[in-house]
Amino acid sequence: MRKFGMKRAIVGAAIAALALNAPAAHAASANGTATAKILRQITLTNTSALQYATIISGATASTVAVSTSGAATCGAGLTCTGTTTAANFDVQGTNGAVVLVGGDASVTLNGSLGGTMASTLSYSAANITLGATGGSFQVGGTLSVGANQTAGDYTGTFNVTANYQ
């Protein structure tokens, strides 16, 4: 019986030693957070057209440029009269949000009596920050007028975009 008692004591000591060396088990908890940000849908409205004025063509090709502020430069050999304006676009959305703006780089204008003219486009800003009343940007361009360009009323459409950054 002595052997049995000794074995029992050794096993008991081993279990006690293991218990002292084992890490203490404990539980922890934390809270997580869920978030969402909702932005108002963007609305984009064209409030004025890009107008190159009334142009009298000449014997040589030239250009008419309208800046994004609406200022016009009439090229050599051309006569320009009347009103010029940059296209204006109003943007509505979430106050304080940054909106990326852009669109077509050029537009073709088709004449009512035949003929075409090409215009490169320029944008007043690559992005705008919306205020309480929204924001706006302008589009100007440079129109290539051919020598003795066909008379008529010329029009063309171009696409612009506005997206949240």
Q: Is residue 26 part of a domain?
A: no
Q: pLDDT digit of tens for each residue in the chain (165 aa)?
A: 455 555 665 655 556 555 555 566 789 999 999 999 999 999 999 999 999 999 999 999 999 999 999 999 999 999 999 999 999 999 999 999 999 999 999 999 999 999 999 999 999 999 999 999 999 999 999 999 999 999 999 999 999 999 999
pTM across the whole model: 0.80
CA distance 80 to 53: 6
Task: For residue 24, give Cα distances in angstroms to 16, 18, 130, 134.
Answer: 14, 12, 56, 60
Q: Is residue 94 part of a domain?
A: yes
Q: Longest Cα pair distance anywhere in the chain, in angstroms?
A: 128
* Residue-range definition of the domain harbouring residue 115: 43-164
Structurally, how many domains does the chain consist of? 1
- For residue 132, the domain's CATH number is 2.60.40
Q: Is residue 150 part of a domain?
A: yes
